[in-house]
Amino acid sequence: MKKKVHHFINNNPIFLKFIYGLIILNILAIILASYKEIRFNYSQVLENFELFSVVIFSLEYVIRLWTADVEYKKGSAFSKRIKFATSAYGIIDILAILPFYLPLFFPFDLKVLRILRLFRLLRIFKLGRLSKSMKTITNVLKETKSELSITVFVAFVLLILSSTLMYYFENEAQPEKFENIGQALWWSVATLTTVGYGDVYPVTGVGKILSAIIALIGIGFIALPTGIISSAFIDKVQTDKQKKIDNMHICECPKCGAKHEKNVI
Amino acid sequence: MKKKVHHFINNNPIFLKFIYGLIILNILAIILASYKEIRFNYSQVLENFELFSVVIFSLEYVIRLWTADVEYKKGSAFSKRIKFATSAYGIIDILAILPFYLPLFFPFDLKVLRILRLFRLLRIFKLGRLSKSMKTITNVLKETKSELSITVFVAFVLLILSSTLMYYFENEAQPEKFENIGQALWWSVATLTTVGYGDVYPVTGVGKILSAIIALIGIGFIALPTGIISSAFIDKVQTDKQKKIDNMHICECPKCGAKHEKNVI
Amino acid sequence: MKKKVHHFINNNPIFLKFIYGLIILNILAIILASYKEIRFNYSQVLENFELFSVVIFSLEYVIRLWTADVEYKKGSAFSKRIKFATSAYGIIDILAILPFYLPLFFPFDLKVLRILRLFRLLRIFKLGRLSKSMKTITNVLKETKSELSITVFVAFVLLILSSTLMYYFENEAQPEKFENIGQALWWSVATLTTVGYGDVYPVTGVGKILSAIIALIGIGFIALPTGIISSAFIDKVQTDKQKKIDNMHICECPKCGAKHEKNVI
Amino acid sequence: MKKKVHHFINNNPIFLKFIYGLIILNILAIILASYKEIRFNYSQVLENFELFSVVIFSLEYVIRLWTADVEYKKGSAFSKRIKFATSAYGIIDILAILPFYLPLFFPFDLKVLRILRLFRLLRIFKLGRLSKSMKTITNVLKETKSELSITVFVAFVLLILSSTLMYYFENEAQPEKFENIGQALWWSVATLTTVGYGDVYPVTGVGKILSAIIALIGIGFIALPTGIISSAFIDKVQTDKQKKIDNMHICECPKCGAKHEKNVI
């Protein structure tokens, strides 16, 4: 029976659609509650919906905890539960309902409560269970992790260098906009990522030249991660193809015992 | 004779150029009519041109409907017509002339008429019949549909998360610019896509840090679809090459035993 | 002797460096002449330098015309000269010196003269003769010409559609900024290319949603040409490699006469 | 014993972590010192920390100079030291501590001192020794050097052309913003790199059309280096794979005659 429940909450299309619908409605509720008129006029509706959502998500969490021994193969019944509770989705599931329960036990002041309510946003990650094709992208990103982290490091060096130089160049001309390196960093990020809000920009000649160089490097900075991710995707596509071919005509070599592609002669 | 007409409207270079010219002139007319001086001084010319265009496009539609049984192989004469009328281009063709006919039958008020006139814009899609090489791009995009839709989903999650957080961070400092999450979303899109209009940007420290992170993620967000589309294009190019090789005749060299492409002499 | 001259102007490193240096100085002169103080204080220097440059470039043009029969293999002496004069570089060479000679023969008014002087900018293209590795990029771009032109067409359709819709949405709210579709096009380009100057942006709800969609499509619009160009570059790299391999161990098959990679047995 | 010291400063994880930590703290100190309140209230702490850092970095430099004969194989003891002192990291190491020592020997005025202090920023490059995977990216960039430099040249031509034209178009309408070609260049860079600060943009019709064209070319300009870098990365991944395959032992199957990877049993 436990297996049936486990299968139901993971595969029953109607249940899944209900949960995903509920998650999307929850996010919509957070967005709508930010509108003053809605927050005041429909506060009761929003509160009731939150109560309803928490009940459902709590039930889901309890059932997932209970059926954890179907999910995981190895370990004792208790260690399986711990495994689920400390898994990425297990943590998300508990954090997403925690902001409702915590204030019942601890007397928080308003500010802490407000931050706690932000945890409700984590419900959006529950949508991640949805997609199996998301794994492709996650795998590709994982494979390129070391090269992408170098890109991040290069970006960090570029940002620090350019913002420090810009601070020295522009501090006198625009003391209120380039008051310290922290504010110059804000300009650096906006330029290197080519966002360019236009709230801060250099006005001195040297500053403009540095800005131009950083903006042009920004183009290369976009090219680098793109090239890395592209190559990983292409490698994946080709490996998948090779696997297909490898699975087609297989022959076992009696000499060395290796399985290899059959040479059709 | 029906076959000749069908061939004529689909392949006659002079007729095709005439239609494409007419479509481009129609789009030009829409653009020009938006200029007050032109709208007032040349209203008669524009109206006559619209009448002329609608007559041509209506005739084209009727002929395409009539010759639908040459276009489609299977089904009865009536079902072939329905097939054309419900095809993408069939719907575009009728919607592009509808704004002219509907007001003749139904008494619409001005607002509805104005929206109806927007349908004339659909005539631009009639240009799509033009290009056969457009299929390459459409096919590549179709193949990467599932991965690209994941990118869209990730973008959606990023937008919701960042705009909600930004609303909490900036609401107090800039209540008129970050009045609700909807307005924060506007900032999110401008930052993640690196457009950066500069009408809304964070002013608090935490807000600026979040903005910097979102802008840097925006770079990766550009890299992802680019990598996906690149890999699909490369796969296509290689598959095309492989097909060419597979279609070539293979010969075994008696000198060295290698299998190689046959040289047709 | 003509061959020696032809070889000299095309291969002598000192002469080439002199010409490239002169071109770069010419461009610098155009930039410097745009500064009021320099234009007034050094007008004589700039005029003399222009005179000197035109003499050199005219001599170069005459010599290239004279040695055209070494450059081109086929045709009569006259047709070879015409071939050079009508080649891309031949046209650039004459247009780059024309703004000096024309006013000597025709009495132009000041406005025409000013435009004529812009032709001096064409001298920058004379630098193109410089690089032999530029051919790689030009070839790759040529190979992807049909797909890239489709991208341009898609961009054109997106720009027209979004600007027309935006004109309808924003015209009432911002009549001075979205006065006609032409002005809305300016916004479209800034958004689709993610430049986002911030001088024009939507203020209505519907307008903002359309703007967000266009900005997000802009990301894909960047991805498309990148993917196309990437695939062409990769194809080139692999074709070059294959050629190297093909040239390494070659065997001629006595059966069919084809040249193929040797199978080392 | 010298070998042990050399091994210690290059491989001892605790020493390396200490140095990297110190570098990061140094960069943090530079950033913090730009904040007026911190600079005034904690000047003693910052000075002491600078003294401490310089002592450590000086010691490190001396040790590296002393152990240079372990690092380099060939040459005399003296030439090995020169080799280290003139290597990229050797120059960075000395420049990063120089701003401390120079003022002790030479009486500089304040302005020179301020610029000298900027050299402390070079300490960030000492972090580069850290990463071995950074070599992958550096190698890829080196391989594509000639093609990337062409991209830079094309960018240079585009920037000069567009800024000169824009200067002619906009000078009359906005004399203070497009006063000379230098200022127009600032607009060119912001547009071609799609940064778009929004401080300078064309207002005339022709100017806007030129700006739109440059922005659209900007998209292609992003696509070019991305394509080049992508292809280099993919080539690298495939070469690595090929090397693996080439290093594997090949066996011929007596069953079907195919050559395949030997399964080491």
pLDDT of residue A252: 59
Cβ contacts of D219 on chain B, cutoff 8 Å: none
pLDDT in tens, C140-174: 888 888 888 888 888 888 999 999 999 999 999 99
Average pLDDT over residues A180-192: 93
pLDDT of residue D112: 77
Candidate from C230, C252, C253 with C-beta closest to B230: C230
Q: Which of A97-111, D167-181, D205-219 has the lowest mean pLDDT?
A: A97-111
Candidate from C195, C197, C226 with C-beta closest to A226: C226
Domain map (residue ranges) of chain B? 2-129, 145-252
Pairing mode of beta strands B250-252, A259-261? unpaired
Residues 200-239 of D with CB under 8 A from C: 201, 208, 211-212, 215-216, 218-220, 222-224, 226-228, 230-232, 234-235
pLDDT bin (cut points 50, 70, 90) of residue C252 is low
Cβ contacts of C192 on chain B, cutoff 8 Å: none
Check if D198 contacts C (Cβ < 8 Å). Answer: yes
8 Å CB contact of A197 and C198: yes
- Exposure string for C68-106, b = 16+ CB within 10 A, e = fewer: bbeeeeeeeeeebbebbeeeeebebbbbbbebbeeeeee
Cβ contacts of D194 on chain C, cutoff 8 Å: 193-196
DSSP string, D127-144: GGGS-STHHHHHHHHHHT
C-beta atoms surrounding D62 within 10 Å: 10
> Which residues contact residue A263 at a Cβ distance below 8 angstroms, ignoring those fewer than 6 apart?
A251, D253, D256, D257, D258, D259
- Residue B91 to residue B79: CA distance in whole angstroms: 15
8 Å CB contact of B222 and C223: yes
Q: Which of the residues in chain B have pLDDT under 50?
A: 264-265
Of C250 and D10, which is predicted with more confidence? D10
pLDDT above 90 as % of chain C = 34
pLDDT of residue B174: 94
Q: Which of A77-86, C62-71, C242-251 has the lowest mean pLDDT?
A: C242-251
pLDDT at residue A114 greater than cutoff 80: no
> Which residues contact residue A181 at a Cβ distance below 8 angstroms, ignoring those fewer than 6 apart?
A163, A164, A167, D30, D31, D34, D35
8 Å CB contact of A197 and C197: no
pLDDT of residue D264: 46
**Amino acid, res. C233:** F
Pairing mode of beta strands C259-261, D250-252? unpaired
Cβ contacts of C36 on chain D, cutoff 8 Å: 179-180
The answer to whether the CB of A79 falls within 8 A of the CB of A91 is no
Q: How far is B2 from chain C (nearest CA, A)?
A: 32
pLDDT above 90 as % of chain A = 35
Cβ contacts of B27 on chain C, cutoff 8 Å: 160
The answer to whether the CB of D214 falls within 8 A of the CB of D202 is no
Q: Looking at this predicted complex, what is its ipTM?
A: 0.84
Check if A107 contacts D (Cβ < 8 Å). Answer: no
- As a whole number of angstroms, the longest Cα–Cα distance in chain B is 86
8 Å CB contact of A227 and D140: yes
Query: Per mean pLDDT, which of A67-81, B110-124, C233-247 is the most reliable?
Result: A67-81
DSSP string, chain B: -HHHHHHHHHH-HHHHHHHHHHHHHHHHHHHHHTSHHHHHHTHHHHHHHHHHHHHHHHHHHHHHHHTHHHH--SS-HHHHHHHHHTSHHHHHHHHHHHHHHHHHHS---HHHHHHHHHGGGGGGGGGGGS-STHHHHHHHHHHTHHHHHHHHHHHHHHHHHHHHHHHHHHTTT-TTTSSSHHHHHHHHHHHHTT---SSS---SHHHHHHHHHHHHHHHHHHHHHHHHHHHHHHHHHHHHHHHHHHHSPEEE-TTT--EEE----
pLDDT at residue D163 greater than cutoff 80: yes
**Amino acid, res. B258:** A
Q: How far is A43 from chain B (nearest CA, A)?
A: 16
Q: What is the CATH number of domain A2-129?
A: 1.20.120.350
Residues 8-37 of C with CB under 8 A from B: none
Q: Which of A197-201, D171-175, D226-230, D249-253 has the lowest mean pLDDT?
A: D249-253
Q: Which of B28-32, D59-63, D87-91 has the lowest mean pLDDT?
A: D87-91
pLDDT of residue B199: 92
Q: Pick the residue from chain B with its C-alpha nearest to D233.
A: B227
Candidate from A219, A230, A258 with C-beta closest to D263: A258
8 Å CB contact of D193 and A216: yes
Average pLDDT, chain C: 84
Q: How far is C230 from chain A (nearest CA, A)?
A: 9
pLDDT in tens, C63-94: 989 888 887 878 888 888 888 889 888 888 88
pLDDT of residue C265: 45
pLDDT at residue C263 greater than cutoff 60: no
Q: How far is C169 from chain D (nearest CA, A)?
A: 22
Pairing mode of beta strands A250-252, B259-261? unpaired
Candidate from D179, D216, D231 with C-beta closest to C189: D216
Q: Pick the residue from chain D with its C-alpha nearest to C235.
A: D231
Residues 36-65 of C with CB under 8 A from B: none
Check if C242 contacts B (Cβ < 8 Å). Answer: no
pLDDT in tens, D105-161: 887 777 777 777 788 888 888 776 656 667 777 888 888 888 888 888 888 889 999
Candidate from B198, B226, B230 with C-beta closest to D198: B198
Choices 1.20.1300.10, 3.65.10.10, 3.40.50.720, 1.10.287.70: CATH for D145-252: 1.10.287.70
8 Å CB contact of D196 and C195: yes
Cβ contacts of D34 on chain A, cutoff 8 Å: 164, 167, 180-182, 184
> Which residues contact residue B262 at a Cβ distance below 8 angstroms, ignoring those fewer than 6 apart?
B248, B249, B250, B251, C256, C258
Quick check: pTM over 0.90? no
Please determine whether the domains at C2-129 and C145-252 fall in the same fold group of CATH.
no
Candidate from B150, B179, B227 with C-beta closest to A230: B227
pLDDT at residue A127 greater than cutoff 80: no
Residue in B200, B226, B231 to test binding to D, most D beta-carbons within 10 Å: B226
Average pLDDT over residues C21-47: 91
Q: Could you tell me how many CB contacts below 8 A there are between chain B and chain D?
A: 10
Q: Which of C159, B37, A183, A149 is nearest to D212 (CA)?
A: C159
Average pLDDT over residues C196-213: 93
Candidate from B196, B226, B230 with C-beta closest to D196: B196
Q: Could you tell me how many CB contacts below 8 A there are between chain A and chain C?
A: 11
pLDDT in tens, D198-213: 999 999 999 999 999 9
Q: How far is A224 from chain C (nearest CA, A)?
A: 12
3-state class (DSSP) for residue D107 = coil
Residue appearing with tokens 């490369």: B234
**Amino acid, res. B214:** I
Of B228 and C253, which is predicted with more confidence? B228
Other chains touching A, judged by 3 or more CB pairs under 8 Å = B, C, D
pLDDT in tens, B57-107: 999 999 989 888 887 878 888 888 888 889 888 888 888 888 888 888 887
Q: Which of A22-31, A201-210, D102-111, D177-186 has the lowest mean pLDDT?
A: D102-111
Query: Per mean pLDDT, which of B106-120, C128-142, D165-179 is the most reliable?
Result: D165-179
